[in-house]
Amino acid sequence: MKKHILLIIAFVSVSLTYGQITSTTAGGNWSNPSTWVGGKVPNAQTDVVINGTVVHNNKEDACRNLTIKKGAVLTTLSPQMNGYVLKVHGDLINNGTIRNNEKGNWLQLFLYKNVVNNGVWTNYGVALAGNSEQTLSGTRPFSPYFIQTINANNILAGSNLTFHGTTLLFYKKNKFIIQPGKMVTFSFSDTHKRGDFMPPTNTAQNVKFTGGGKVLVKGNYNVSGAVFDGVKLVKE
C-alpha cells in the first residue's frame, strides 16, 4: 500500500512540474499572467500552446515543449535590436507564424529538441542548442536569417526540407544527416538583409552533409564552405 501511495505522489509531482499552459486567443506579452488561461506564466518546465499573438518580451521567458497553433503568432518586443533569447527546452511545433516584430525588433530562439515547421517562420536567428541529435521536419520552408549550431550534436532531416534565405552556420563541423530518398533545398533571398547581418549571398558554412540523400541549391546560395560525404549535390 505504501508503494502505491509513493507512486501516486511521484506521478502527481511530475504532472505538476510538466503541466501545460495555453494562451488566450487575445494573446499578449509572454511574461504577463493575463496572456495565459489560468493566469500563470510559463517557465522552463511548462509545455506551452499558443492560440493568439504572444509577444516574447523578457530575458527570463522559456518553456518546455512549444506548439504554435494555426493562425497564432510568436513574435517579440525585445528592447534590444538583436533580441532576448526565448529558450524552448523541449520540442517545437509551428503551425502558425514565427516572426520578428514589425517595428524591427528581432526574435531569437534557442531550441534544444526536435523541430517541426508547418507554418511561416521568418525570425532573425535560431540556435540548435541540444546535447543530442535534433531532427528538423515539416511541410513549409524554414526562413530565419540564420540557423546555427552551438554544441557538437548532429542535425537530422526528418522529411524533405527547404531553407529560403537562411544562412546555415555549423561551427563545430556538425553533420547534417540526410537519409536516402530525402532532399534538402537551399535558395537565396535578399529580403532578409538587415543592419549588421548582410552576407553577400546566403551560405552554408562548415556543414558536413552526409547520409546518402540529396542537396538542391538554387540561385546564389553558396555551399563552398560545406563538405558533401555520400550526398548528391545538385545546382540550379
Neighbour tally for 25: CB within 10 Å: 12
User: Which whole-number Å values give the CA distances from 97 to 44, 72, 82, 107, in the listed order?
Assistant: 21, 6, 19, 12
Q: What is the pLDDT of residues 22-58, one digit of tens each?
A: 999 999 999 999 999 999 999 999 999 999 999 998 9
Confidence of residue 16 (pLDDT cuts 50, 70, 90): very low
Percent pLDDT > 70 in the chain is: 87
Residues 16, 212: Cα–Cα separation, whole Å: 43
Which stretch of 19-23, 36-40, 166-170 has the lowest confidence by average pLDDT? 166-170
Burial degree of 165 (CB within 10 A; 0-12, 13-18, 19+): buried
Question: The pTM is what?
Answer: 0.90
Q: What is the pLDDT of residues 176-222, one digit of tens each?
A: 999 999 999 999 987 776 556 667 789 999 999 999 999 999 999 99
pLDDT for position 13 = 37
